[in-house]
Structure 1
């Protein structure tokens, strides 16, 4: 039995969500999606039982954006274990270290089940490291033995965080199996970005400095808010947010079209559209996951080794120089950090872009095989997969390089200018909103035209 088979067999013994029968209406599915979103927001504000009151984390922390997490609450781990588990399995399969054809429905089922088991294991591991490292309590000397909390309190926190990860998995399964629309992972990321944008505009803590742009403007209208220190939201970031949202909407509508024809339907020509942003927001998402995991590991390492560890200092400094600055002032205060952040993110974006194209079956070889299987051909080119691959490579690889650089530049520039929700968050939010718009339009068409549903083989 292989690793995937073992993990899948474990998942088969874990309670899951059954597919609905019959298929709910669109409005009912939207209602269930809203309920899942409300549950996430509630969990993001329910503090963990047995820990001291936590300080509110920064709304622009990359862990909060990528992992949809909330410090000191049931959503402390957020979707981190789920996306990390899925990413690891996809990389292993894409690198052929695990032999699996994800186009096969049974293989896809095993992959999903294995991801669920691995996500639960990651959740238990991260929760255990938080508890062992005395993350939520004070300690003297060794955090393992000198923690102010007893082992009963620590085990209680581990149980709460692990159960929260399991609930997130169930909510994601619930939406993806037909009770709702889209996936809970995307929904929670969008909610986290939206919360960060609202906090940047309206955030205010009584008795303290006005964090948000509007409260700061009301409190002292005579002060220029073009740039604010300490990473606080400013007018430059607000204008950058609007500009990059408009730019992304425009870029996502651009297509590169390849002319095709069908031998069975002589004289009928069509075009296969390739998105100009061929890799969409995947490269920057993968970069964000990597950096967020590095930040998370730095926290775990600090809890276990102690804050004065030399190894931790070097590691934390490395992570600091590849994490985004917050706004123009922070970017200018440390130009070296800004430069290393920009270069590292652009390089990683390109690497992850090409990696994703190979893993996801978007490379010229797989696309050529899809054209042949669908009975299409490019005019003037014989229906030979190798010849088609050569033609498609002239489109796909330049698009991969260009789109990876573009999304990387947008994310880097938005962070340097202090865009609300972070550059990564804006990229993800715009892409998720576009996906939801497409899915809702599709589902609406199926309900409006039942004949179309039968032609597509959808259940009634």
Structure 2
């Protein structure tokens, strides 16, 4: 028996509810896990150290992990080893012939690349976990009451397992939830710290450490930057595309006009996350190792220069954002492939020859858009760095955090709307089929 439009609506809503509930459940599990401690560590000592070093790389690391680092949680490493592994595999895909071939093999090749990423994540997380656990007792006396083999083994296993679980959880959100799983986990970690950051800022204003006018200016700036991010993220360059008149059998299709939409920021929030990971991963390792060793003073000097607000950090961060904007756009948008698809469908850009000339034209437009998008992301991410230096605002109000929050929320809303539109579209088709059913006695 055929299902009616009402049942189609209900099934569509049921799927959306299931995805939303799964996402909510996954984020709850993430928050609960951030409170599960690594055995053998006194988290109060670690929290005191992080409180004294607010605004540095470890504080940023703690922010992305949702406070798991300061609580010495099994999720303390966060998702950064996975992001670092993804960057390495994607870059290697341009230089290694075997990986290049896998990228051309469709779904099977993608699954193989994902498997390589998981293996590399395991290796990076293991190296980072060993380095942290081995240097903790020397760096912070009293943080590990019994620094024996059982502690080292348990700490490494706990930290690596936590990272691998977060990687798996992110993949599950991709498949069964809504939004990008990794971005959602980072978003949840940032949002979890917002109440404390807002409370700390208000307390600074109450005690006189931060002038009330400065507080109002900061709030106004956050609102303005948020509107600016939304405005740019919705911006598109629409390339006019015409379809020539064609005949199929006895039917003649009239010429049509459409457009090829190209976003200003096609890479989204990925460049900011990747650039942060590139600086955080080696920087945090150097900070953990160098702080407890007198013979590694040069390592501590480099670490100091990599702290937020320093010229070296700002320069490397800006270069990283611009590089990954172009890099990620090249991964997701292929001008030659787009030009070939337009040619096969009988479409053309007015004034541009189909094929190679169309590919060059699209590439030229994409390059200009990507440059504008890269400068926009760099501006949003680095502008608050100077604000932090002069006003001592909590690090949660950094541009990277704001960009991630706004873009992830916009992406989430777009995907929810897409599910709703898909459900309505199916409903319209069903209604049309039911009309045919009444006339011809069957659903066509």
**Superposed pair shares fold, TM > 0.5:** yes
Moved more, 267-276 or 183-192: 183-192
2:173 counterpart residue number: 175
Shift of 1:392: 1.4
Which has the greater radius of gyration?
A: 2
Shift of 1:287: 1.5
Alignment of 1:267-306 (within 5 A): 267-302=255-290, 306=293
Contact 1:193–1:426 (CA under 8 A) maintained in structure 2 = no
Distance 1:375 1:269 in 2: 12
Contact 1:45–1:73 (CA under 8 A) maintained in structure 2 = yes
Distance 1:38 1:316 in 2: 34
Contact 1:213–1:235 (CA under 8 A) maintained in structure 2 = no
Q: Does 1:254 align with 2:235?
A: yes
* CA-atom RMSD in angstroms: 3.1
Contact 1:196–1:421 (CA under 8 A) maintained in structure 2 = no
Partner of residue 369 from structure 1, selected from 320, 326, 340: 340
Once the two structures are superposed, what CA deviation does each residue of 1:350-392 show, in whole Å capped at 9, x if it has no partner?
222222233x1425334323433454321232222x1112211
Q: Does 1:439 align with 2:415?
A: yes
Q: Does 1:393 align with 2:329?
A: no
Moved more, 278-287 or 183-192: 278-287
1:427 counterpart residue number: 403
Change (3 A) 1:74 1:350: same
2:349 counterpart residue number: 378
Q: Which runs of 5+ in 2 are unaligned?
A: 1-11, 247-252, 431-444
| Alignment length (residue pairs) | 394
Distance 1:166 1:312 in 2: 29
Distance 1:400 1:425 in 2: 21
2:296 counterpart residue number: 309
Distance 1:277 1:40 in 2: 29
Partner of residue 186 from structure 2, selected from 186, 189, 192: 189
Partner SS state of residue 103, structure 2: coil
Q: Which runs of 5+ in 1 are unaligned?
A: 1-21, 141-145, 203-211, 228-233, 326-336, 455-460
Distance 1:28 1:278 in 2: 29
Contact 2:40–2:145 (CA under 8 A) maintained in structure 1 = no
Contact 2:243–2:348 (CA under 8 A) maintained in structure 1 = yes
Distance 1:427 1:255 in 2: 18
Contact 1:365–1:389 (CA under 8 A) maintained in structure 2 = yes
Shift of 1:119: 1.6
Structure with the largest fraction of helix:
2
Partner of residue 211 from structure 2, selected from 220, 224, 227: 224
1:26 counterpart residue number: 16
Once the two structures are superposed, what CA deviation does each residue of 1:37-89 show, in whole Å capped at 9, x if it has no partner?
01111112222221112343467632234455621112110101211111110
Distance 2:120 2:227 in 1: 38
Alignment of 1:70-109 (within 5 A): 70-71=68-69, 72-96=72-96, 98-102=99-103, 104-109=106-111
Distance 1:453 1:301 in 2: 62
Alignment of 1:202-221 (within 5 A): 202=199, 212-217=200-205, 219-220=206-207
Once the two structures are superposed, what CA deviation does each residue of 1:385-409 show, in whole Å capped at 9, x if it has no partner?
x111221133111111111011101
Distance 2:161 2:217 in 1: 41
Partner SS state of residue 410, structure 1: helix
Distance 1:256 1:399 in 2: 8
Contact 1:446–1:453 (CA under 8 A) maintained in structure 2 = no
Once the two structures are superposed, what CA deviation does each residue of 1:275-311 show, in whole Å capped at 9, x if it has no partner?
12233333222211111113222134326x7154133
Contact 1:134–1:147 (CA under 8 A) maintained in structure 2 = no
Shift of 1:148: 5.4
Shift of 1:222: 10
Change (3 A) 1:363 1:214: same
Contact 1:189–1:429 (CA under 8 A) maintained in structure 2 = no
Contact 1:51–1:137 (CA under 8 A) maintained in structure 2 = no
